[in-house]
Amino acid sequence: MLISVLSGKGGTGKTTVAVNLAALMKNACYVDCDVEEPNGHIFLDPVYSKTERVEVMVPAIDKEKCSGCGECVRFCYFNALALVKWQVLLFPEVCHGCGGCIHVCPQNAVTEDKKDIGRIDTGVGGGLECIRGVLEIGEPVGVPIIKKMKAGLREDRTNILDCPPGSSCTVVGAIQGSSYAVLVTEPTNFGLHDLEIAVRLVKKLGIPAGVVINRSGEGDERVVEYCCSEGIPVLGRIPFERGIAEAYSKGGLLTEDARYRKYFEDIARRLEEVLNREAACYYKR
């Protein structure tokens, strides 16, 4: 099972919610999909025992066969190719690896080469399996790392996917196929604005979702009102408290502190309820 934790806005507490839920839930696996800046390891402190490299396709151009027609250059949406004096110039760091240039070349002058874009680390930390994807600096797309990471996940586990911020390709790549999405927000204008985008995204992908309000307190009503209007349950709240920020700044798990553990127990309980209900709905269909 896949449970995605996403937010739209960055810095709302995705990792806080994801690591603490993973630490509480039975048979969980923490998967850090925020490949541009994975940071769940700060809290779970895993020892990584296995590292796999991730490669993607980049084109190679056979200068003998190339006629300089420019079909590949016109096709490339990402401007990774240029045509100067009937010669193709390749910019591999801009390439998204779609392979379109190979298909459109009338001379079959474009072939497949490989480029290393990052790695997947697997290990154990905080008593659970931890996996993280790491994208090399300067690489434009992390999706292939996320897809490879997800392909290796065990189905009999509750895989908690800590997603990247925003709502772009990497987020879509991470949440696709999830049984449920936990949307972490904060009661601010920015939090609510980006929550609405995240809700549109999960609805489009047909993923049932619930909301966790982090730094809860002043302004919660608007978030709750919005959730009601969209028919999305509020799974729980984490209050705006100095002690929580202090524990976080030291890289500690909030579940290890009796004062804060209850917030995550509440979220986990509500999550199990809604998951059971979703499963029941699924069978009814």
Number of residues engaging another protein in binding (CB under 8 A): 15
Quick one: 11 or 92, whose CB is closer to another protein?
92
The one-letter code for the residue type at 84 is V
Is residue 87 close enough to count as binding another protein by CB under 8 A?
A: yes
Quick one: 117 or 161, whose CB is closer to another protein?
117
d(CA 89, CA 225): 54
Structure tokens at 144: 């292939």
Q: Is residue 163 classed as helix, strand or coil in its secondary structure?
A: coil
| Kind plus residue range of the DSSP H or E element containing 221 | helix 220-230
* Separation of CA 98 from chain center: 20
Quick one: 84 or 280, whose CB is closer to another protein?
84
C-alpha distances in Å from residue 119, one per residue of 68, 132, 141, 173: 36, 8, 13, 16
Query: Of these, 89, 228, 245, 279, which contacts another protein (CB under 8 A)?
Result: 89
Is residue 85 close enough to count as binding another protein by CB under 8 A?
A: yes
Structure tokens at 37: 């800046």
Contacts of 145 by beta carbon, 8 Å cutoff, 6+ apart? 35, 54, 117, 118, 119, 120, 133, 134, 135
* Inter-residue contact 4 to 182 (CB < 8 Å): yes
C-alpha distances in Å from residue 167, one per residue of 43, 51, 174: 25, 28, 10
Query: Of these, 26, 50, 84, 249, which contacts another protein (CB under 8 A)?
Result: 84
Is residue 99 close enough to count as binding another protein by CB under 8 A?
A: no
Query: In the window 128-187, what residues touch another protein (CB under 8 A)?
Result: 140
d(CA 194, CA 146): 22
Query: Of these, 33, 58, 80, 146, which contacts another protein (CB under 8 A)?
Result: 80
Structure tokens at 212: 């966790």
Is residue 91 close enough to count as binding another protein by CB under 8 A?
A: yes
Quick one: 83 or 274, whose CB is closer to another protein?
83
- Binding mask 39-78 toward another protein (x if CB under 8 A, else -) reads ----------------------------------x---xx
Q: How far is the CB of 73 from another protein (least distance, A)?
A: 7
Quick one: 91 or 282, whose CB is closer to another protein?
91
Quick one: 90 or 161, whose CB is closer to another protein?
90
Structure tokens at 175: 């949440």
- Binding mask 185-224 toward another protein (x if CB under 8 A, else -) reads ----------------------------------------
Q: How far is the CB of 140 from another protein (least distance, A)?
A: 6
Strand ranges in the chain using DSSP code E only, listed in sequence order: 2-6, 28-32, 47-61, 81-84, 87-90, 110-125, 128-135, 158-162, 180-185, 209-216, 234-239
Q: How far is the CB of 102 from another protein (least distance, A)?
A: 18
What number of helices (H) and strands (E) belong to the chain? 10, 11
Q: How far is the CB of 94 from another protein (least distance, A)?
A: 4
Q: How far is the CB of 89 from another protein (least distance, A)?
A: 6
Quick one: 41 or 96, whose CB is closer to another protein?
96
Give the footprint of another protein on this chain (CB under 8 A).
73, 77-85, 87, 89, 91, 94, 140
